[in-house]
Amino acid sequence: MAGPGLLRLAPVALGTLIVPLDSAVNVAFPAMVAAFGLAVPEIQWVVICYVLTYGSLMLAVGRLGDIFGHARVFRFGLAWSAVSYLLLTVVPDYGALLASRVLQGVGAALVLGCGPALATALFPEAMRARALAVYAATVAAGATIGPLAGGVLVEAFGWQAVYWFRAPFALAALLLSAHLPAAPRNGPREPFDAPGAVLLIATVATILLAVNRAPSAVALLLAVAAVASAAGFVWRSRHAPRPIIDLSLFRRPGFAALNLSNAVVTFAGFAVMLLVPFYLARIAGLEAGVLGLVLATSPAGGMLGSWLGGKAVMRFGSRAVLVAGAVLNAAGLLCIAPWCIGTAMPWLVAALAVQGMGLGLFTLAYTDQVTATMRREDRGVAGSLTMLTRTFGVVGAASLLTLMLGATEATLLAQGRPPAEAFLTAFGRAFLLAGALPLLALPLLLRRRG
């Protein structure tokens, strides 16, 4: 895919880029804490409000795209996102900031919910894997650029810059997307199951909040609410003439296991973006600029893995690429576990690159497999499902790995261990767990599929 093919994808790629560029926000956290006079733990709600919103809306938005047209919903998401970015630059207080992050999450759901479906619709079915490879590489590129751009922007213009700098990208993509073809509609428009969408949104939101609040009593109440909402959604899906997602798909051999494995592998891979910055700052002693460069090695590896994965899937099949990606991801994570004081920089970079490449290969092959399993008329739901399972992995890692690291480190400090030793021991144990998870997912990936 080159030349005219890539130009056809330009509006989708440029529009999608605004979402992974949110990784720039992490760099602005210290400035935001100072600007609003927050305690450090409060900043987590900047992430939770955003992720919770787009994660809970994703499948419903994908279904809207399947019904009303992916290009139409995508364009609406771009316009909505541009407005939300500008609102975020003028918020007067922390409450308004969180409310605007919710609005930003709505825009992200509208864009991500239809992006993969648009990418595949622009090309023949035989080129599906290559189109998804370009799309996945775009997401990885945004995650790579975000921290690097964030550091420069915050230093030059303040924390607001990590939001407003994306508005021109959204507006440019909106202009270019005017030429995206409308999907042909055969027969009458299918109905949208609004009650099912409400129950699904409630289910996903309560699950994500329960994971984030664990192990508190509130988490138990949220878990009960999640079970009740899920039961209602299952009942509604069985009786609706056209449900948000056809739950019978999960009875197909290997389909449920495939989606579970993506959540597990994403959980493991997110350990890098979550915990490695602490090692690079506290143990390696890197300044912010150099830290961002080193950390960007992982998403850069993911970008390469996504690109290579498109070719590999067409040649070897998605299952082989899934297994290779899981193994490489595990290898990179296990190579991070023994990092210590004085670990050579080439070793750090190599481990991060291998981990990122493995995650990129895995994500591309997983997305291709899910897309191939579902009807072409349900491509919006298919793309949204891949993003939703990824969201579960990210939220789970952010909550549980942080809890594990903090508890282990506190126990060792209470035993009289030096701070650096306590941190490195806790860090190593967290990455041993993370490295084992993709290997434990291999039996799920090797199950026979129909």
CATH superfamily membership of 1-176:
MFS general substrate transporter like domains (1.20.1250.20)
Looking at residue 184, its pLDDT comes to 58
| Nearest in space to 367 (alpha carbons), one of 134, 61, 110 | 134
436 vs 394: which has the higher pLDDT = 436
Model confidence pLDDT, tens digit, residues 205-220 = 898 888 877 778 888 9
Looking at residue 95, its pLDDT comes to 92
256 burial via Cβ count (<10 Å: 0-12, 13-18, 19+)? middle
109 burial via Cβ count (<10 Å: 0-12, 13-18, 19+)? buried
Model confidence pLDDT, tens digit, residues 235-290 = 998 888 888 888 888 888 888 888 999 999 999 998 888 888 888 888 888 876 77
| Nearest in space to 101 (alpha carbons), one of 159, 188, 177 | 159
Where helices occur in 214-254 by DSSP H, the ranges are: 217-239
d(CA 342, CA 353): 19
**Range 401-410 average pLDDT:** 85
37 phi-psi bin (left φ>0, alpha ψ -120 to 50, beta other): left
**Highest mean pLDDT range out of 116-130, 208-222, 429-443?**
429-443
| Nearest in space to 26 (alpha carbons), one of 156, 143, 166 | 143
Model confidence pLDDT, tens digit, residues 146-177 = 878 887 888 888 889 999 999 999 999 999 98
Looking at residue 430, its pLDDT comes to 93
d(CA 209, CA 94): 20
Main-chain dihedrals φ then ψ at residue 159, nearest 5 degrees:
-65, -25
d(CA 302, CA 259): 19
Looking at residue 432, its pLDDT comes to 95
CB 10 within 8 A of CB 138: no
| Nearest in space to 60 (alpha carbons), one of 108, 111, 100, 109 | 109
| DSSP letter, residue 449 | -
Looking at residue 381, its pLDDT comes to 82
Looking at residue 185, its pLDDT comes to 61
Q: How many CB atoms are located within 10 Å of the residue 94 CB?
A: 17
d(CA 304, CA 315): 17
* CATH, domain range 252-450: 1.20.1250.20
Model confidence pLDDT, tens digit, residues 9-60 = 888 889 999 999 998 887 787 788 888 887 756 777 888 889 889 988 988 8
Helices and strands in the chain: count of H runs, count of E runs: 21, 0
- 86 contact partners, CB below 8 Å, separation of at least 6: 163, 164, 167
Question: Where in the chain are the domains?
Answer: 1-176, 196-239, 252-450
76 vs 117: which has the higher pLDDT = 76
CB 152 within 8 A of CB 140: no
Looking at residue 115, its pLDDT comes to 85
379 vs 407: which has the higher pLDDT = 407
d(CA 372, CA 337): 36
- Measured over the CA atoms of residue 379, residue 136, residue 50 and residue 175, the dihedral's sign is negative
Looking at residue 143, its pLDDT comes to 81
Model confidence pLDDT, tens digit, residues 98-118 = 999 999 999 999 998 888 888
CB 41 within 8 A of CB 166: no
CB 226 within 8 A of CB 409: no
Going through 260-390 in order, the beta strands assigned E by DSSP cover: none
Fill in the amino acid letter for 206.
T
| Nearest in space to 207 (alpha carbons), one of 186, 193, 184, 228 | 228
Q: How far is CA 276 from the centre of its chain?
A: 18
- Report the SS3 class of residue 450: coil
Q: How high is the mean pLDDT of the chain?
A: 86
d(CA 324, CA 354): 11
Establish whether domains 1-176 and 252-450 are of one fold: yes
